[in-house]
Amino acid sequence: MYGLYVCINMLVYVYITRVVHFKMNFVKRLSESPDLNSIPSIYAYTTNPNESPVSNSQDSIPTIDFSLLTSPDPSLRLQVIQELGDACKDWGFFQVINHGVPEDLMNMVVEKSNEFFNLTDEEKKDFEEKDVLDPIRYGTSFNSKKDKVFCWRDFLKVIVHPEFHSPNKPVGFSEIMLEYSKRTREIVRGLLNGISMSLGLDQSCIENTLKLESGLQIFVVNLYPPCPQPELAIGLPPHSDHGLLTLLINNGVGGLQIKHNGKWVNVNDTFPGSFLVNTADHLEIFSNGKYKSVEHRAIVNNVATRISVVVANGPSLDTVVRPAYELVDEERCPASFVPMKYKEYLEMQQGNQIVGKTCLDCVRNCEAVNPFEASRLPLPLHSLSFSLQALSCHHQHRTPSALRVRSASDDIDINTVVSDETTHGTVSQIEDDNPDPPPLLSPRPFRSHTR
């Protein structure tokens, strides 16, 4: 009987800490409980034993003077474009100064964002998350429907472009958000023009090819309250961002770490009024791997609330993103990624657990990995191109030149990835000159490595 009693009590504890908390509490409310001395088990984050250490290096993150991108002096423009390219290649992260956005506006954005989280639960209830592409989403953790371990984080995500959305509370938040989103889009446009030139492309290549005029822009506020056991919790686990560039400001409380040269680096010493910018997955895809999306994470503390305001900037949702044609050479530099619609990638990343750069691995060309391992990687949504590419690579260790496929979802020719010959096929009809390929290995399901 005693054993049954203990078992029932354990089940009740699990129900209270997991189910009841999930239904009733956001982490802000939980952190404000006067009786909270330890974190519920659902927040207990186990660090990967192979995780990279935190660096003691005093290396400073690169600084980009935005005003020099439009300098009348060609030598200064050339210099800052070179610095921008080096920052994207070596760090995937930099701070931007002299950008023209008033510091008062940046401070007001943080202040109004904090006011949103101070609204009553009833006032915020209308914005609670449902679908990953809902225009306004208020939620907790990363994806509370899928996360096995919750992040010590509440968030607000708002799509502000190509159509502008905003919560109707607090007063003035909508107007501030609208002005801020316009200003940051101009910064992103200027940076991407410079990045295009640093890649040896036309200035407007990224802007035009990826349809930035109708590109997706998401305004995100992250709230990380004080945590009684910060060493056991995580604000956001290691991950890279979707899209092209992410701009970030915060309330002055540290917690952001980026991975540089295999070690985690604390981002602390930055210029007042600067933007922190990181490269994202679709810039890595478009640059054919020349510029890497940076892996980063958020840690928490037991003293002060950290607020970060992030603006994620990507292509238009219907854009099929692939390496730039000018950066692909089948002999010397083949395409490192297969084409995929930005919307599909976004749904795949946001609809699952957040796991390092696993989503980007889904669209890697199997030429970049062992072909027998490539077939085991998780499949992109609605796309067979990755499996077909792996199948082609299996054909008695042949190169992919024997196979060509037309994607059913995009109706696009994946000739930069699988072939440059004239034979065409569809998902249901594949022409191949090798009659006896070995069987394709079954793909592994999408899963978390550390969480």
pLDDT bin (cut points 50, 70, 90) of residue 10 is low
Structure tokens at 305: 């609330």
Q: Is the pLDDT of residue 331 over 50?
A: yes
Write down the pLDDT at residue 356.
Answer: 66
Give me the pLDDT at residue 107, please: 98
Q: Residue 3: pLDDT band by 50, 70, 90 thresholds?
A: low
Tokens matching residue 207? 């802007």
pLDDT of residue 330: 80
pLDDT average, residue stretch 112-138: 91
Nearest to residue 430, comparing CAs of 399, 397, 398, 408?
408
Query: Out of 22-26, 76-80, 340-344, 376-380, which region has the weakest mean confidence (pLDDT)?
Result: 376-380
Closest C-alpha to 66, from 201, 180, 183, 181: 183
- Write out pLDDT tens, residues 271-283: 999 999 999 999 9
Indicate if the pLDDT at residue 307 is higher than 80. yes
| Lowest-confidence pick of 20-34, 87-101, 200-214, 302-316 | 20-34
Partners of residue 247 on adjacent β-strands: 277, 311
* Residue in the structure block whose two tokens are 């990835």: 417
**pLDDT above 90 coverage of the chain, percent:** 59
Whether the Cβ atoms of residue 100 and residue 282 lie closer than 8 Å to each other: no
Give CA–CA dist 210/323, Å, rounded.
Answer: 11
**pLDDT for 141:** 73
Asked if pLDDT for residue 354 goes beyond 80, the answer is: no
Whether the pLDDT of residue 94 is over 80: the answer is yes
How do residues 208-248 score in pLDDT, each as one tens digit?
A: 999 999 999 999 999 999 999 999 999 999 999 999 999 99
Q: In this structure, what is the dihedral angle of CA atoms 261, 263, 267, 270, given to the nearest 10 degrees?
A: -30
Q: Per-residue pLDDT for 398 more than 60? A: no
In tens, the pLDDT along 399-436 reads: 333 333 333 334 333 333 333 333 333 333 333 333 33
Query: 3-state SS string over the chain?
Result: CHHHHHHHHHHHHHHHHHHHHHHHCCHHHHHCCCCCCCCCHHHCCCCCCCCCCECCCCCCCCEEEHHHHHCCCHHHHHHHHHHHHHHHHHCCEEEEECCCCCHHHHHHHHHHHHHHHCCCHHHHHCCECCCCCCCEEEEECCCCCCCCCCCCCEEEEEEEECCCCCCCCCCCHHHHHHHHHHHHHHHHHHHHHHHHHHCCCCCCHHHHHCCHHHCCEEEEEEEECCCCCHHHCCCEEEECCCCCEEEEEECCCCCEEEEECCEEEECCCCCCCCEEEEECHHHHHHCCCCCCCCCEEECCCCCCCEEEEEEEECCCCCCEECCCHHHCECCCECCCECCEEHHHHHHHHHCCCCCECHHHHHCECHHHCCHHHHCCCCCCCCCCHHHHHHHHHHHHHCCHHHCCCECCCCCCECHHHHCCCCCCCECCECCCCCCCCCCCCCCCCCCCCCC
Give me the pLDDT at residue 365, please.
Answer: 82
pLDDT of residue 347: 86
**420 Cβ neighbours under 8 A, 6+ residues apart:** 330, 401
Q: Are residues 298 and 336 in contact, defined by beta-carbon separation less than 8 angstroms?
A: no
pTM passes above 0.85: no
**355 compared with 43, residue with greater pLDDT:** 43
- pLDDT at 96 > cutoff 70: yes
What are the structure tokens assigned to 312, written together? Answer: 């994620």
pLDDT value for 229: 96
What is the percentage of the chain residues whose pLDDT exceeds 70?
A: 71
Domains, the chain, ranges and CATH?
A: 2-43 (no CATH), 63-323 (2.60.120.330), 328-451 (no CATH)
Main-chain phi, psi angles of 197, to 5 degrees: -70, -35
Weakest mean pLDDT among 2-11, 136-145, 258-267, 356-365: 2-11
- Which sign, positive or negative, has the C-alpha torsion 426, 446, 328, 94? positive
